[in-house]
């Protein structure tokens, strides 16, 4: 274990009467290495880190971005990522976000020795985007890994994510007629350009296999991933690739495959994201795909009994906000949500 000790990790050494008693080193946020001295030997074992956990309702209103809304209410950026990951199949947090959108989350908050120590699971969440309500409840369907489902028991996970980046802005949308800033001519632009800081992680939007990976003068560093049913996704102008990737390598939805850059014929750092169906360009922003497997019939009743009180709590708070807005249009929504 000592060959993998990293700088910056917390540790604690305890002594008794000046003699070594124990050494504790935090491997990660979940596990610690404990070396303790007994009468005639030294023990070494991995132990789970014990946290105090409380479930809290966190709410907010979007002014410019989910990231800023989360930090504005005193929460950590980590929560914005957790929340965005839940609704990433229904909401493009770059294209779709509007001022006035609201969110709620029943989230486990972890504490250690009385101090905040991050987040556990989000048990239930809601995002209201352009007056459309999206809700999700965490549930383990039998022996399967826990996932998020809507009130009907339908999996919120779909074949493709709405966007390959969590947070950025759009510089150029999908169009068949755009003036190319470098070639100085009118050309089609069957892609969406996402602007973000250099090095921003790029995630593959769906499960698939790397079909092409390399560099061309125009595309810069790029990756093409082939998915099932004739779909392909293409990522251009990357700074670099994630380790271990090569042609024929399987990748999973949401896996980081590279980092945003400005290689090739690019006026600045951005990701040019394209999708194709049977070789023909399609608009990623309008793609509609089926959801993943719903909850099994034998567990549906258990899910509904679990989900009902959680969703009722979210519905009640949203109703309070709506009533307050009707009674007083100038109501401070953040104040209502905080009650």
Give the residues across from 31 on adjacent strands.
48
pLDDT grade for 172, boundaries at 50, 70 and 90: very low
86 has pLDDT over 50? yes
**Which pTM value belongs to this model?**
0.72
Instruction: Let me know: does 84 contact 167? Beta carbons within 8 Å.
Output: yes
171 has pLDDT over 50? no
> Span 209-223, mean pLDDT?
97
150 has pLDDT over 90? yes
Domains detected in the chain: 2-48 (3.10.450.350), 52-158+294-337 (3.10.450.350), 169-286 (2.70.70.10)
> Span 244-262, mean pLDDT?
96
Q: How far apart are the first and last CA of the chain?
A: 48
Q: What is the mean pLDDT of the chain?
A: 86
* Lowest mean per-residue pLDDT among 35-39, 174-178, 214-218: 174-178
* Lowest mean per-residue pLDDT among 3-12, 95-104, 323-332: 323-332
Instruction: Let me know: does 225 contact 206? Beta carbons within 8 Å.
Output: yes
> Span 287-300, mean pLDDT?
86
42 has pLDDT over 60? yes
Helices H, strands E: what count in the chain? 4, 21
Identify the pLDDT of residue 94.
Answer: 79
């Amino acid at each position: 274990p000592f060959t993998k000790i990293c700088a910056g990790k917390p540790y604690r050494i305890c002594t008794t009467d000046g003699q070594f008693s124990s050494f504790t080193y935090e491997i990660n946020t979940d596990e610690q290495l404990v070396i303790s001295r007994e009468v005639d030997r030294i023990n070494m074992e991995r132990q789970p880190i014990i946290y105090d956990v409380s479930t809290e309702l966190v709410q907010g209103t979007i002014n410019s971005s989910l990231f800023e809304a989360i930090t504005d209410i005193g929460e950590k950026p980590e929560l914005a990522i957790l929340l965005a990951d839940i609704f990433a199949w229904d909401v493009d947090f770059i294209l779709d976000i509007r001022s006035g959108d609201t969110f709620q989350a029943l989230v486990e908050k972890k504490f250690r020795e009385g101090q905040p120590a991050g987040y556990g699971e989000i048990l239930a969440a809601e995002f209201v985007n352009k007056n459309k309500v999206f809700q999700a409840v965490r549930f383990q369907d039998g022996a399967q890994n826990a996932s998020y489902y809507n009130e009907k028991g339908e999996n919120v996970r779909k074949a493709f994510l709405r966007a390959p980046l969590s947070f950025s802005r759009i510089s150029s949308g999908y169009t068949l007629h755009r003036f190319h800033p470098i070639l100085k001519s009118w050309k089609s632009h069957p892609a969406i350009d996402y602007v973000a800081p250099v090095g921003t992680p790029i995630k593959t939007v769906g499960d698939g296999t790397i079909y092409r990976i390399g560099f061309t003068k125009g595309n810069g560093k790029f990756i093409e991933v082939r998915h099932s049913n004739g779909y392909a996704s293409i990522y251009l102008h990357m700074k670099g690739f994630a380790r271990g990737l090569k042609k024929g390598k399987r990748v999973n939805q949401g896996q980081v495959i590279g980092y945003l850059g400005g290689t090739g014929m690019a006026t600045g750092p951005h990701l040019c994201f394209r999708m194709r169906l049977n070789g023909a360009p399609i608009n990623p922003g309008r793609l509609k795909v089926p959801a993943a497997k719903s909850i099994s019939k034998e567990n549906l009743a258990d899910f509904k009994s679990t989900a009902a009180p959680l969703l009722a709590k979210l519905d009640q708070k949203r109703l309070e906000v709506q009533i307050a807005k009707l009674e007083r249009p100038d109501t401070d929504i953040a104040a209502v949500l905080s009650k």
